[in-house]
């Protein structure tokens, strides 16, 4: 049989039916609830009522857990299918919701420094899963913002976004906050008198508010710096230059981004984060 989920489903249905209706072959092999839980059930002869109360309870519990057992097995047999379910497992609960029967809303975002090696913090999003049936309690799931785009692709329904929650979907978007913070630490650049701020040539939306000045060599070893002086007038805004900076990096090693050098997008003079000055 070519599809693993079909083979698994057939085998599971047959085994479940045999387990519930216990044919003689199953009885002789000892595959019955009574036999599997015999030590907990105790002796039928010694405590008849207690034995049967326990037996009926455990049988009910085991039989009602069969669909969940099926679901978990299916996740292993055909993980790529995702079965159209959300699920969340906590110590005492397993929450499940069919995607087609729920609404998903991004309700919160938080920045977390997951590891000291990473220069940019990770953004953790909280998504609330509400079932269409209001009697069923909603539950929250959390994920890293970089996984958000993947989730949105797999979902069969749109994700709603609470106002005020800004989602940094890619590493370079997330990097912008760190980039901005570092630029703010550098000394500002004052425009020569008579020079006007022009619109950013990347987006044409906001003024070009950055100037590249070779400052890094001033600290410590003066001749070690590989940066070059850029003679361009301010042409780029912070978001555009930040995205340019991020796009020239090794995407697999974000911890190296802040310490690396990139060429000026206009004149190709090499610069680093220390050389970016906010224009005042």
Query: Does position 216 bind Zn ion by CB under 5 A?
Result: yes
Other beta carbons within 10 Å of 118? 13
**Which residues lie below 8 Å from residue 212, measured CB to CB, with a gap of 6+?**
230, 232, 264, 269, 271, 275, 276, 277
**What's the token pair of residue 186?**
């550098």
**Contact between residue 236 and residue 265 where contact means Cβ atoms under 8 Å apart:** yes
Give the residue carrying structure tokens 């199953």: 26
Residue choice 68, 94, 181, 267 for contact with Zn ion (CB under 5 A): 267
Among 15, 78, 141, 232, binds Zn ion (CB under 5 A): 232
Q: Does 200 bind Zn ion (CB under 5 A)?
A: yes
CB of 256 to Zn ion, least distance (A): 15
Which string of x and - marks every residue 9-28 that binds Zn ion (by CB under 5 A)? --------------------
The binding track of 146-175 with respect to Zn ion, each residue x by CB under 5 A or -, is ------------------------------
Under the binding rule (CB under 5 A), the answer on residue 279 touching Zn ion is no
Q: What is d(CA 275, CA 186) in angstroms, rounded to the nearest whole number? A: 8
For the purposes of burial, counting CB atoms within 10 Å of the CB of 125, is it exposed (0-12), middle (13-18) or buried (19 or more)? buried
| Angle, vertex CA 265, rays to CA 166 and CA 179, nearest 5 | 35
Helix (H) or strand (E) holding 184: helix 171-185
**Counting contacts by CB under 5 A, is residue 276 touching Zn ion?**
no
Query: Does residue number 227 form part of the binding site for Zn ion (CB under 5 A)?
Result: yes
State which residue, 106 or 240, has the beta carbon closest to Zn ion: 240
The one among 33, 264, 276, 277 contacting Zn ion by CB under 5 A: 264
Say whether residue 186 binds Zn ion (CB under 5 A): no
Asked if residue 72 binds Zn ion (CB under 5 A), the reply is no
What are the phi and psi torsion angles at 143 (to 5°)?
-150, 160
As measured in angstroms, the least distance from the Cβ of 121 to Zn ion is: 23
Note whether 183 binds Zn ion by CB under 5 A.
no
Point out which span in 60-68, 111-119, 121-129, 193-201 binds Zn ion (CB under 5 A): 193-201
- Please name every residue paired with 104 in a beta bridge, in sequence order, or none if there are none: 129, 159
Please tell me whether residue 210 binds Zn ion under the rule CB under 5 A: no
| 187/211 Cα distance (integer angstroms) | 11
**176 in contact with Zn ion (CB under 5 A):** no
| Residue 228 found at the interface with Zn ion (CB under 5 A) | no
Q: What is the contact mask toward Zn ion in residues 239 to 258, using x (rule: CB under 5 A)?
A: -x------------------
238 binds Zn ion (CB under 5 A): no
Does 237 engage in binding with Zn ion (CB under 5 A)? yes
Contact 138, 156 (CB under 8 A): no
Q: CA 166, CA 168: separation in Å to the nearest integer?
A: 7
Q: Which residues bind Zn ion (CB under 5 A)?
A: 200, 202-203, 216, 227, 230, 232, 237, 240, 264, 266-267, 269, 272, 275
């Amino acid at each position: 049989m070519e599809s693993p989920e079909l083979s698994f489903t057939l085998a599971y249905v047959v085994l479940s039916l045999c387990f519930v209706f216990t044919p003689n072959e199953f009885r002789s092999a000892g595959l019955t609830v009574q036999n599997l839980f015999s030590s907990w059930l105790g002796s039928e002869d010694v405590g008849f009522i207690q034995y049967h109360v326990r037996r009926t309870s455990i049988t009910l519990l085991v039989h009602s857990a069969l669909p969940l057992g099926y679901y978990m097995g299916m996740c292993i047999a055909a993980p790529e299918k995702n079965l159209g379910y959300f699920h969340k497992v906590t110590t005492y609960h397993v929450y499940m919701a069919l995607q087609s029967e729920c609404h998903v809303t991004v309700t919160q975002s938080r920045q977390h420094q997951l590891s000291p090696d990473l220069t940019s913090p990770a953004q953790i999003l909280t998504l609330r899963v509400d079932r269409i049936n209001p009697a069923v309690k909603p539950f929250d799931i959390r994920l890293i913002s970089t996984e958000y785009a993947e989730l949105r692709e797999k979902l069969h329904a749109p994700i709603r976004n609470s106002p005020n929650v800004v989602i940094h979907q890619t590493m370079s978007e997330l990097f912008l906050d760190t980039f901005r913070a570092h630029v703010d630490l550098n000394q500002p650049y004052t425009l020569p008198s008579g020079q006007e701020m022009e619109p950013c040539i990347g987006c044409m939306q906001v003024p070009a508010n950055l100037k590249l000045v070779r400052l890094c060599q001033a600290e410590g070893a003066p001749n070690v710096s590989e940066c070059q002086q850029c003679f361009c007038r301010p042409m780029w805004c912070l978001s555009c230059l930040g995205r340019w900076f991020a796009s020239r990096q090794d995407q697999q090693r974000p911890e190296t981004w802040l310490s690396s050098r990139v060429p000026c997008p206009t004149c190709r003079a090499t610069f680093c984060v220390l050389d970016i000055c906010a224009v005042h």
